[in-house]
Amino acid sequence: MRVGMGYDVHKLVEGRELILGGVRIPYEKGLLGHSDADVLLHAVMDALLGAATLGDIGKHFPDTDAEYKGISSIELLKRVGKLLDDEMYIVENIDATIIAQRPKMRPYIQEMEANIAAALGIRDNQVNIKATTEEGLGFTGSGEGISSQAICAIEKLTNLRSVDVTQVSRSCAGCGGCAYDS
């Protein structure tokens, strides 16, 4: 099993839509960035890429490339899922936290989880999203920006053969504690 962590932050500005976890959230400000600036998905993607030692989102989707200008981060997450598939990794679980003073995220979290699961082809119960404030402290607490942290576990499919349970190693044989003892 491999574990990865990701972090992202973007400034809140007027004149942009607020999109988190692929969900448009009604708010007077949105996040500034080259893509849709979805900090939640950016943190999730960095966690997944890191766990697979495939770099980060800047390596795969540089903000200097016009192809990614205004792109949906859900589309980028699907591409990360394809990279993991190509390397034979499966996602075990994703756990993420959105850090924002406002707006309240609770009404949107279930849809965010479903969006992430659908983009990666995993079950909804493999994705957990939480939200917290910073009690008015720091740039997120003052409403200047939103950040997100994510951690994930992935597993590489390296052996697709069945295990011959009749061949038990000597270190295991005879302990009497499992069904493989003869």
| Residues in the annotated binding site | 8-10, 34-35, 42, 56-58, 61-65, 132-135, 139
Sheet order of strands, 30-31 included = 30-31, 2-13, 145-156, 89-99, 127-132
CB 46 within 8 A of CB 57: yes
Cα–Cα distance list, 18 to 22, 35, 89, 145, 151 (Å): 10, 12, 31, 11, 23
CB 109 within 8 A of CB 115: no
Task: Name the residue among 66, 68, 48 with its Cα closest to residue 151.
Answer: 48
User: What single-letter amino acid sits at 118?
Assistant: A
Per the structure block, which two tokens stand in for 39? Answer: 């900090």
Neighbouring C-beta atoms of residue 67, cutoff 10 Å:
7
